[in-house]
């Protein structure tokens, strides 16, 4: 009855289903959640896309190129394994796409981008190493919902025309393999559940199903919602011991189950130890899913201290090197760290990741952005709400009161006030001159040379302990689980491979379950905007090949 079965209704699945239907293929799209969750984790994202040499960059005076971006990517990926051959090929193909067809193609389906390009994951060390040399983070108008909407619209049009059939509350538990070839899927029909998007849903089984097709495409996401599975793959040799406590950056249905189903059927998995978790996680005071965490997207000015109260050295500065900073934090034997900042910094520099935390950008209206980010006094309302209600925040008029509040939050690791005071005073003494030996002060001034950072992302350098800049704010930062950088081993077309490298006929994969393509096209480090970009690119490739 069907030519192609797509398992997973997230961004990669929507793109793959649409592309296959465009080619005249009859497609079945399955998802274990309800129709209200169509779009998956992408819906909750900030909507950032890694693109190269775009009109938005050129208007901001950014000189980018395929060659510069390729150098940044390969310096960050640090491919060093024999099994990285396909991930490297996918990375090269994505870079070609991001420097060419990506922007006009996405624009043709209705996407538009906020004109100020963000500068994420800046690296902070050598030019040949990790990091973005220039801003490349293009925030989609409408944030995550704005990324999902064009492809949902296209899929629904195909569904109305009978080319795509969508079935929800279908949990695939097995692949049908005959003669070494995948012929279909089987699993459980789950009871209807009208829970809001992102909320936990019932796993009550009310029946079974079986569907057959020429090709099965897995697009079911990563493992970040299952912290036991995260710990199973955690690379202690590279990062240190896995944290006992982490907050969840994804809903609990992002559990890696289809990766296990495919592996049990004979699919190869590579680079499972490569993963991307953030160090600036907050416990959400108004959670949607269990253990819901929100990431701070910081500007460069907050002072960052480890759990012992030692100021962290370069490149472990806000926004520079996520993976290196994670290793640095865990090297203390503790799982948390601290930002210390001022009201002036939080007003200019704090943003929270996620569509629901950025209602102005999600609205897609300039009037809302101007009102919330440029005309209003104070930090954006979602940030102020965390400051008022969040369990990780301390607000105080004096350093003594601030440090006392920090110790109340983490009494098992008290912070010494004189150690903190000395380090802040030494930093503050560097503000009076236009030159400085403090790397972070130099980085702040460098950031303000970029018009976008000066306008909305980087506060003017000032003394932390000057009361005119207060109150003082301390933020406990937790490890927040987010993305799998490894997964099902595929070639550039999305064909899943067996452990011996041969094709597992009939089986394809795209998105995070495939390490965003190839089984790990990021290598060890992500440059941001490459998660949604990887879902779109790998979903497109699969849809055009099945």
| pLDDT tens-digit series, residues 267-311 | 999 999 999 999 999 999 999 999 999 999 999 999 999 999 999
* N-to-C CA span, the chain: 15
CA dist 378 and 433 (Å) reads 28
Q: Work out the mean pLDDT of the chain and round it to a whole number.
A: 96
Least-confidence region, from 261-265, 370-374, 524-528: 370-374
Task: Give me the mean pLDDT over the 452-474 stretch.
Answer: 94
Q: For residue 373, what pLDDT is reported? A: 63
- The torsion region of residue 504 among left (phi > 0), alpha (psi -120 to 50) and beta comes to beta
State the average pLDDT over residues 419-434.
Answer: 96
What confidence score (pLDDT) does residue 256 get? 95
State whether the Cα torsion 400-403-405-408 is positive or negative.
Answer: negative
- 377, with CB counted inside 10 A (0-12, 13-18, 19+), is exposed
- CATH number for the domain formed by residue range(s) 278-480: 3.90.700.10
Average pLDDT rounded to a whole number, residues 366-382: 72
362: pLDDT confidence band, cut at 50, 70 and 90? Answer: confident
pLDDT in tens, 12-52: 999 999 999 999 999 999 999 999 999 999 999 999 999 99
Chain-centre distance for alpha carbon 27: 28
- Cβ pair 488, 259 in contact under 8 A: yes
Asked if the model's pLDDT at residue 377 lies above 90, the reply is: no
* Mean pLDDT calculated for residue range 365-393: 81
Q: What residue ranges in 377-501 does DSSP mark as E strands?
A: 393-396, 472-484, 487-488, 495-497
pLDDT, position 375: 60
Across residues 127-142, what is the average pLDDT?
96
What is the structure's pLDDT at 1? 84
Average pLDDT over residues 171-180: 98
In 202-275, which ranges are continuous DSSP H helix? 227-233, 236-239, 257-265
- Does the pLDDT at position 115 exceed 70? yes
What pLDDT sits at residue 251? Answer: 95
Residues 28 and 20: their CA atoms lie apart, in Å, by 10
Output the pTM of the full model.
Answer: 0.96
Q: Which CATH superfamily is domain 2-221+485-544 in?
A: FAD/NAD(P)-binding domain (3.50.50.60)
- Run of H or E residues at 216: strand 215-218
Whether the predicted pLDDT of 329 surpasses 70: yes
Q: Which structure tokens are listed for 469? A: 């800049």
CB 168 within 8 A of CB 34: yes
Domain ranges of the chain: 2-221+485-544, 278-480
Asked if 511 and 12 touch (Cβ cutoff 8 Å), the reply is: yes
Could you tell me which of 357, 171, 321 has the C-alpha nearest to residue 260? 171
Cα–Cα distance for residue pair 468/45, rounded to 1 Å = 35
Indicate whether 372 pLDDT > 80.
no
DSSP-assigned beta bridge partners for residue 208: 188
């Amino acid at each position: 009855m069907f030519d192609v079965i797509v398992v997973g209704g997230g961004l990669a699945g929507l793109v793959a289903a649409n592309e296959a239907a465009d080619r005249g293929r009859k497609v079945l799209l399955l998802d274990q959640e309800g129709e209200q969750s169509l779009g998956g984790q992408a819906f909750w994202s900030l909507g950032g896309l890694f693109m190269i040499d775009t009109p938005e960059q050129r208007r901001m005076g950014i000189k980018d190129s395929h060659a510069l971006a390729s150098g940044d990517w390969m310096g960050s990926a640090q491919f060093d394994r024999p099994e990285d051959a396909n991930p490297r090929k996918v990375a090269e193909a994505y870079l070609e796409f991001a420097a060419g067809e990506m922007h006009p193609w996405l624009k043709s389906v209705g996407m538009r981008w906020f004109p100020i390009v963000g500068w994420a994951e800046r690296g902070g060390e050598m030019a040949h190493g990790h990091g973005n040399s220039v801003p490349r983070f293009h925030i989609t108008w409408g944030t995550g919902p704005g990324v999902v909407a064009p492809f949902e619209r296209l899929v629904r049009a195909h569904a109305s025309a009978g080319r795509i059939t969508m079935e929800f509350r279908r949990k695939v538990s097995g692949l049908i393999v005959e003669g070494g070839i995948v012929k279909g899927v089987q699993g459980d029909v789950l009871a209807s559940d009208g829970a809001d998007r992102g909320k936990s849903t019932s796993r009550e089984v009310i029946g079974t199903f079986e569907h057959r097709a020429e090709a099965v495409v897995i697009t079911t996401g990563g493992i970040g919602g299952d912290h036991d599975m995260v710990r199973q793959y955690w690379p202690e040799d590279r990062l240190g011991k896995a944290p006992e406590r982490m907050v969840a950056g994804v809903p609990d249905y992002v559990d890696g189950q289809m990766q296990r189903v495919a592996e049990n059927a004979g699919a190869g998995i590579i680079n499972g130890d490569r993963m991307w978790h953030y160090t600036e996680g907050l416990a959400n005071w108004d959670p949607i899913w269990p253990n819901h965490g929100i990431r701070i997207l910081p500007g460069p000015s907050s002072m960052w201290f480890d759990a012992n109260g030692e100021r962290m050295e370069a490149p472990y500065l806000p926004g520079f090197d996520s993976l290196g900073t994670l290793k640095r934090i865990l090297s203390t034997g503790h799982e948390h760290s601290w930002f210390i900042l001022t009201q002036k910094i939080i007003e200019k520099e704090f943003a929270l990741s996620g569509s629901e935390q950025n209602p102005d950008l999600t609205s897609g209206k300039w009037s809302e952005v101007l009102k919330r980010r440029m005309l209003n006094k104070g930090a954006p309302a979602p940030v102020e709400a965390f400051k008022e209600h969040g369990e990780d925040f301390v607000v105080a008029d004096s350093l003594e009161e601030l440090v006392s509040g920090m110790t109340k939050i983490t009494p098992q690791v008290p912070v010494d006030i004189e150690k903190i005071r000395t380090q802040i005073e030494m930093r503050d003494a560097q503000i009076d001159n236009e030159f400085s030996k403090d790397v972070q002060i130099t980085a702040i001034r460098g950031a303000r040379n970029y018009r976008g950072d000066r306008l909305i992302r980087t506060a003017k350098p000032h003394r932390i302990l000057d009361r005119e800049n207060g109150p003082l704010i301390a933020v406990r930062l937790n490890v927040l689980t987010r993305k799998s950088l490894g997964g099902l081993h595929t070639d550039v077309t999305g064909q899943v491979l067996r452990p011996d490298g041969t094709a597992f006929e009939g089986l394809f994969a795209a998105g995070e379950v495939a390490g965003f393509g190839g089984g790990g096209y990021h290598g060890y480090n992500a440059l941001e905007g490459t998660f949604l970009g990887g879902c779109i690119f790998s979903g497109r490739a699969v849809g055009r090949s099945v």
